[in-house]
Structure formats: C-alpha cells, structure tokens
C-alpha cells in the first residue's frame, strides 16, 4: 500500500474562482500562479488555465521558462522582472511580459541590441505607492514611461503597483496608495498624450493595482487589469469582522490535503504522546497516527486542538507535529480504524482555520506543501 497522503487538486474549482474574480474585477484579470501555482502545481494549473485566462503571472524567469517549455502560450507576466541581459534575451525569445521596477532594468532595455528576433515586449512599469518593496517613486513615473515608450523593444506599457494592506480594507494606507497611484497615472497619461500629439486619437495607458483582497474589498482599485492570486485557490484573504455578511460560498475549495490513519492506539490516563511529551491524556482515551508531518508541509506550529477530519468527523490534533506523522484524538470517532480517511484541510476543514491555529496564513500552507506530497488532479 502506498502512503495515503495526497493533495487532491480541483482544477475546475480554480477556473470557477477565476471567473468569479472576473465578475468582481470587471476588466482583464491576470491569474497569478507563482510559487508552484500556490502549491497546486505550476504547469498543471498553467496549462489548464491557458485557454480561459487573459494572462498568467509568475514571480521568476525560471517559472516562466518552465511554463513555456510546457507549451503554455498565453501572455505570461514575470512579476520581479529580469536581472541581467541574458535573462532579458530569454524573456524576449519567450515573449514574456516583464515588470520593470528599477533603473537597472530600464537600462537593460535601453542597451538591448535587437537581434534576429523581431519581438517587442509588454512592460509593466511598477511604481511604489507605499508597499516599500519594488518600484519607482510615483514622481518619476512619467519620466520612466517616456524612456520605455521610446524603445523599439517595448510594445506596450501598463502602469502597476501593489497594496500593502488590502486585506484590511478600512486601513488609511489603502486610500493613500490609491491616490498616489492615481496621481502617477495622471502624469503618465499626460506624458503619453504629449508623445502621441501628432495622432488624432490618444489611447489610455492601462493600469493595474488590485490583488485578490482589493478585487474583493476595494472596488475603487479595479482597473483595466487586476491580479488574482490567493482567491483562485479558494481562500478569501480579507480580514473580516465577525458580523460580516459576505457570502463565503462564492469561492470554491481547490485543494484537499488528504491522508489516512496508519495506526490506532489506546492511551491510559496520564500517558503522553509525541515529542516533548507535550500532550497527556486527562483520562483513558483513543488516538490515531496520521501519515502527514512538517516534512510534507503541514505546519509544525499547529498545536493541540487544530481541527482535523477523521472519517468525516471533526476532531483535533494532539501533541507536537512530527516530520512524517501527527496524532489525532479519536475519543469522539469510535469507528475509526487503520485506513480511515483523514482530511487535514479541504472542504470540511478550511485551510484558513489550520493557518490560524499555526499563526500563519493560507498562502504559506499552500506554498509550503513539499514535493513529497503527490498532487492528484
């Protein structure tokens, strides 16, 4: 018998979440599949989504190369851009969309000697409106736009930025970032209009600022393009008040982390379980050992009480998570036996509940799932 642990991926659910993102966002939506498709499998997710999406995005050139090698032909955005001339060559050969966030990246494009390949790139000019990570100061946006617009290797320029606090929609920082973005967009549009003076019609410079949280909770941030990541994988990143009336069922569950019991044991009152003898039974009880541990990406910081579904019954983890195994209380699941199904997260146990118990976020649990866990589609 093979080890029962597997991640069951529902690609149709990812597509349905993408379509939901489209209805909210209004405009075009980039499906963000970086970090191995948020753990769901880079090429499987990328190939499946290709006929249905406006564009895909990854963080790194390496991820983009892998997708192109798998015949993913759609628009494909590299969110960190390229770091040297060789990488730029690759990006041009593979017809990638590139973020440009720094002077050295503008210089790489300026120095590019157009070779035999006659392709021009879609560039996403990134400005830092308050995230403090990547991007030009908003005051320099128009100047960078003019430089890029003049290059034959540049086909189009989309103005882009990223929110720091979109998951908390009431934060003032969101208002400040949006107004900084709008001011930069006005100056870029003005520069664009000046450059196009001779033509009778000027076009709009496309804009993109919303991630999943902003698509869901900051309608003012919806522009020609939005970028949906975590919501594609069924997780709503918005921090909500307890009385929130938002429909939680609009997003479909995309991954079930499923395993089984590989041992069932009884414990006498006072007996301890696992490393550190952290957990002790307060009375006689019964427990099971599940084939899943932090070596698979299950969070080690999920403590006693973290919910787990055994044979369709909600129970909880007890003691410390080991590398390859964890223990679950079976006092309330008398019918559980070796081989009984265990759901670590999925439709019965929202990944956000496990993340809360471990002091982390669904993003980290999804992306942390290791290679050892077979993905079943």
Ligand X SMILES: *Cc1c(COP(=O)(O)O)cnc(C)c1O
CB of 370 to ligand X, least distance (A): 20
Neighbours of 372 (CB within 10 A): 12
**Rounded to whole angstroms, how far apart are CA atoms 274 and 319?**
6
Among 148, 230, 291, 302, binds ligand X (CB under 6 A): 230
104 is catalytic: no
Give the total of residues touching ligand X (CB under 6 A): 12
List residues bridging with 77 in a β-sheet: 57, 97
Lookup: tokens for 302: 């999920």
Taking a C-beta distance cutoff of 8 angstroms, is the pair 314, 349 a contact?
Answer: yes
Among 9, 24, 32, 154, binds ligand X (CB under 6 A): 32
275 is catalytic: yes
- Pick the piece of the chain touching ligand X (CB under 6 A) from 221-229, 238-246, 277-285, 291-299: 221-229
Q: To which residue do tokens 């899943």 refer?
A: 292
Contacts of 377 (CB under 8 A, 6+ apart): 9, 11, 41, 44
Site string for ligand X, 41-80 (x = CB under 6 A): --------------------------------------x-
130 binds ligand X (CB under 6 A): no
- Pick the piece of the chain touching ligand X (CB under 6 A) from 40-48, 187-195, 224-232, 250-258: 224-232
CB of 375 to ligand X, least distance (A): 19
Among 222, 223, 227, 375, binds ligand X (CB under 6 A): 227
Residue 291 to residues 6, 57, 311, 322: CA-CA distances in angstroms?
10, 34, 15, 10
Neighbours of 23 (CB within 10 A): 10
Taking a C-beta distance cutoff of 8 angstroms, is the pair 8, 347 a contact?
Answer: no
Which of 259, 306, 318 has the alpha carbon at shortest distance from 3? 259
- Pick the piece of the chain touching ligand X (CB under 6 A) from 168-176, 206-214, 248-256, 300-308: 206-214
Q: What are the residues binding ligand X (CB under 6 A)?
A: 32, 34, 79, 162, 211-213, 227-230, 237
Catalytic residue numbers read 34, 275
């Amino acid at each position: 018998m093979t080890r029962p642990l597997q991640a069951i991926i529902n690609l149709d659910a990812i597509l349905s979440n993408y379509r939901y993102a489209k209805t909210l966002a209004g405009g075009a939506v980039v499906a963000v599949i970086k970090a191995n498709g948020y753990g769901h499998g880079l090429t499987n997710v990328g190939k499946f989504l290709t006929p249905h999406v406006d564009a895909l995005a990854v963080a790194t050139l390496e991820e983009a190369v892998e997708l192109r090698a798998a015949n993913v032909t759609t628009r494909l955005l590299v969110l960190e851009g390229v770091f040297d001339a060789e990488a730029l060559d690759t990006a041009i050969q593979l017809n990638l969309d590139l973020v440009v966030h720094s002077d050295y990246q503008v210089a790489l494009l300026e120095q590019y000697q157009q070779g035999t390949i006659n392709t021009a790139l879609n560039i996403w000019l990134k400005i830092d409106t308050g995230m403090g990570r990547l991007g030009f100061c908003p005051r320099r946006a128009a100047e960078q736009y003019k430089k890029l617009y003049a290059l034959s290797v540049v086909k189009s320029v989309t103005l882009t930025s990223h929110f720091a606090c979109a998951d908390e929609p009431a934060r003032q920082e969101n208002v400040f970032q949006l107004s900084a973005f709008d001011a930069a967009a006005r100056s870029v549009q003005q520069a664009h209009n000046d450059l196009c003076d001779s033509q009778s019609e000027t076009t709009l410079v496309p804009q993109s600022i919303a991630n999943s949280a902003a698509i869901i909770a900051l309608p003012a941030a919806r522009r020609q393009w939005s970028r949906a990541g975590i919501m594609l994988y069924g997780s709503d990143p918005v921090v909500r008040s307890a009385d929130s009336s938002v429909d939680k069922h609009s997003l479909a569950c995309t991954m079930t982390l499923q395993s089984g019991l590989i041992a069932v044991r009884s414990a006498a009152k006072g007996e301890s379980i696992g490393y550190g003898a952290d957990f002790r039974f307060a009375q006689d009880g019964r427990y099971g050992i599940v084939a899943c541990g932090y070596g698979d990406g299950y969070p080690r910081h999920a403590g006693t009480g973290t919910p787990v579904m055994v044979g369709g019954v909600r129970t909880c983890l007890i003691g410390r998570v080991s590398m390859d195994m964890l223990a679950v209380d079976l006092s309330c699941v008398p019918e559980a036996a070796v081989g009984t199904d265990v759901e670590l997260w999925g439709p019965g146990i929202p990944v956000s509940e496990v993340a809360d118990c471990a002091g982390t976020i669904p993003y980290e649990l999804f992306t942390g799932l290791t290679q050892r866990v077979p993905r079943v589609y």
